[in-house]
Amino acid sequence: MMQIMVNKSHVVGYEAGRTLTIMSLPEGDFVEVVGVADHDVELPLPEGACLRTIELHAPWVVPLPTPTIAFLHFGPSMRSFQGPVTLPQNRKRLLRKS
């Protein structure tokens, strides 16, 4: 997985009822921005990372920080996690660890 720093002003919105994959690292939580979870079990995670899912009980508007840290993977389908972000207060379910 490639890590880059991106200077941008970006806000992402997610609808209530959606299940999102979050990549958690010691430096924070990174929300999925590109791709779908179909191949997440095959993702090469950074050292210390784990994937979790959250189900949104309300709409969530996420202002990404400037600069944003973006993790990109160009495997069977492109995948990107960006942040770090502050997660809404939802129950999280651990998917897998690196």
pLDDT digits (tens, 9 = 90+) for 49-61: 999 999 888 899 9
pLDDT score of 8 more than 90? no
Domain ranges of the chain: 2-87
∠ CA 46-51-55, nearest 5°, is 150
* Nearest C-alpha neighbor of 79 from the set 67, 88, 71: 71
Q: Model pTM?
A: 0.85
| Higher pLDDT among residues 38 and 82, named by residue | 82
For residue 17, pLDDT beyond 70 = yes
Q: How confident is the model at residue 95 (pLDDT cuts 50, 70, 90)?
A: low
Distances (CA, A) of 52 to 1, 62, 82, 90: 17, 17, 14, 11
